């Protein structure tokens, strides 16, 4: 199904009972082909979705429920935490002094 064929109340990628038997890969492949998109593996899509939710502050327990993971260890195999945990981690550190009227954005150590 292409994006143009969706009705307003349709899900972009609805969940079918067949998805539990591995059929989701065929549905996803067909969707990508119909919309002239590069093929993506279902595992990658699920991992990216979970990573995005975590990055915007959705609690891990909620992400687990949405994606169907029963324990944190399993979810952590899917999400790419390194990018989230490390991005901006040092932004709050101030290595340069602005005691001498500087802007604190660079220069020599005082």
Secondary structure (H, E, C), 21-82: HCCHHHHHHHHHHHCCCCCCCHHHHHHHHHHHHHHCCCCHHHHHHHHCCCCHHHHHHHCCHH
Whole-angstrom distance, CA of residue 37 vs CA of residue 99:
54
pLDDT in tens, 40-87: 887 788 888 888 888 888 999 999 988 888 998 888 888 876 565 656
67 within 8 A of 49, measured Cβ to Cβ: yes
Q: CA geometry: angle at 4 spanning 58 and 28, to 5°?
A: 55
6 within 8 A of 14, measured Cβ to Cβ: no
- Report the SS3 class of residue 89: coil
pLDDT in tens, 5-38: 666 655 555 565 656 666 777 878 888 898 898 8
Q: What is the pTM of this model?
A: 0.52
Domain extent listing, the chain: 1-40, 42-91
Model confidence at 99: pLDDT above 70? no
């Amino acid at each position: 199904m292409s994006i143009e064929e969706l009705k307003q109340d349709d899900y972009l990628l609805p969940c079918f009972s067949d998805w539990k038997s591995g059929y989701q890969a065929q549905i996803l492949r067909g969707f990508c082909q119909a919309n002239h998109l590069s093929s993506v593996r279902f595992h990658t899509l699920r991992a990216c979705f979970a990573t995005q939710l975590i990055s915007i502050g959705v609690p891990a327990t909620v992400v687990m429920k949405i994606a169907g993971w029963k324990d944190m260890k399993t979810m952590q195999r899917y999400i790419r935490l390194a990018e989230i945990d490390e991005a901006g981690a040092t932004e709050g550190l101030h290595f340069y002094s602005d005691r001498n009227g500087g802007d604190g954005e660079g220069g020599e150590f005082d």
